[in-house]
Amino acid sequence: MPVALAVWSIKLVPGEVESIIPPADLKITNIALGDEIADEKARTSVRLVYQRPSARDGEDDEEEEDEDEDEDTEMEPVQTFLGSLTPGKIEQAIVDVILEKDEEILFEAVGKNVIFVTGNFIDQGGDDESEYDYDPDEDDYDLQDIPSDVEIDASELEVPSDDDADRFEEVEDEESTKDSKKRPRESDTMDTDEPKLSKSEKKKQNKKLKAESGKAVATGEEKPPAKEDKKEKKEKKKAEKAEKPAAKVIEKEGGLKIKDHKVGSGPQAKKGDKVSVRYIGKLTNGKEFDKNVSGKPFHFRLGKGEVIKGWDEGILGMHVGGERLITVPPAMGYGKGGSPPVIPSNATLIFEVKLIKIN
């Protein structure tokens, strides 16, 4: 069963042909009219142009004798229509079409109105290997949720502090880190050269050895170190946190906001790079609409329009290993049309992103 990896969309302006080469298998799910209608009576269709598989794969070696004849006959691209929309009658339509990765597809709005095409990058569970194959040495990441049932301002959303930076890492089993409270066997603690004591003598000696907790310590067992007071530990942690400067929110052109929770130490992402990321996407009320926190990281080519504009500009400049909170305004996300049913109209989107690698 295909697994959705990330939301994808494209804006089709009449008269302009959009060329797309998906970096992963792409499932088209919806076509909808934009918020501005140029002609309220005109029907607008979505045309899709692709190559037949035989035209991409070439001819079999067994038919080499026909090569000279076929060289002069190039197969024409095939066109089809995903659907037609008319204002006031049919303004959106559900679509179920899967486009293969790394194959060029042409989209065009035939008519007078702007149409938005929406879908998801998917993983169909194939065995094909590529430069984006999941690295088994790469840890899965459990991103911390931002629970909230109340509408809040996006600028008030805080990324966890550096003390919680291990939210992307595997958590060690607490039981393995706890000091054993089991009393050691006498055979492990007593020196073989020391004379054996009777039960009454051991009892008297144990009464003299007291831990700070007031509990008796077995013969030969060293006095346990004093445990750090919980209050002191909490105050110390708070003081360390106060010494660290708070991450600054940087607002870019168009209302895009970025806040680096952690600046990575690896290479810096620039336009044209193929990047792999983990992320969680939420609305401003805390409702989660998309995420990639385990399995194969999501990958795309930065600055090429394969994702929303807020991602192309928001991830630009990140370093590998870095963690960033990106607040995407509606105009740089899905606009007035949204992406039904998960993303409403004029939605501000909050993404917590970690840059895994640059290919």
Give the CA dihedral 260, 263, 264, 269, nearest 10 degrees. 60
**Does a structural domain hold residue 234?**
no
pLDDT at 1: 62
Give DSSP secondary structure letters for 148-178.
-SS---GGG--PPPGGGGGGGSPPPPHHHHS
Q: What CATH number should be reported for the domain holding residue 116?
A: 2.60.120.340
Is 134:296 a contact under the CB 8 Å cutoff?
Answer: yes
Q: Which residue has the higher pLDDT, 48 or 170?
A: 48
How many domains in the chain? Answer: 2
Distance CA 113, CA 187 (A): 87
Residue with tokens 């000696």: 205
Q: What CATH number should be reported for the domain holding residue 330?
A: 3.10.50.40
Average pLDDT value for the chain: 75
Mean pLDDT in residue range 155-160: 51
CB atoms inside a 10 Å sphere around CB 34: 19
**Does a structural domain hold residue 194?**
no
Q: Which residue has the higher pLDDT, 109 or 129?
A: 109
Whether the link from the prior residue into 341 is cis, omega within 30° of 0, is yes
**Does a structural domain hold residue 160?**
no
Domain range for 317: 248-359
- Would you place residue 177 in the very low, low, confident or very high pLDDT band (cuts 50, 70, 90)? very low
Residue 241 is encoded by which pair of tokens? 């946190």
Identify which of 107, 97, 99, 109 has the alpha carbon closest to the alpha carbon of residue 33.
Answer: 109
Distance CA 50, CA 104 (A): 7
**Does a structural domain hold residue 146?**
no
Rounded to 5 degrees, φ, ψ at 355 are -85, 115
Give the sign of the dihedral formed by CA 10, CA 12, CA 13, CA 17: positive
349-358 and 105-110 strand pairing? unpaired
Query: Does the pLDDT at position 157 exceed 90?
Result: no
Query: Does the pLDDT at position 148 exceed 50?
Result: no
pLDDT in tens, 64-123: 445 544 444 455 688 889 899 999 889 899 998 888 888 888 999 999 999 999 998 888
**Does a structural domain hold residue 295?**
yes
- Would you place residue 268 in the very low, low, confident or very high pLDDT band (cuts 50, 70, 90)? very high
- Would you place residue 270 in the very low, low, confident or very high pLDDT band (cuts 50, 70, 90)? very high
274-283 and 298-301 strand pairing? antiparallel
pLDDT at 248: 87
**Does a structural domain hold residue 285?**
yes
Name which of 5-9, 158-162, 192-196, 282-286 the model is least confident about: 158-162
Is 164:323 a contact under the CB 8 Å cutoff?
Answer: no
**Does a structural domain hold residue 311?**
yes
Q: Which of 102, 125, 148 is the last residue in one of the domains?
A: 125
Mean pLDDT in residue range 188-204: 57
Q: Which of 125, 144, 163 is the last residue in one of the domains?
A: 125
Beta bridge partners of 326: 258, 351
Residue 135 is encoded by which pair of tokens? 């690295």
Distance CA 183, CA 216 (A): 11
Mean pLDDT in residue range 244-267: 87
**Does a structural domain hold residue 156?**
no
- Residues involved in catalysis: 279, 289-290, 308, 334, 351
The helix/strand/coil state of 307 is coil
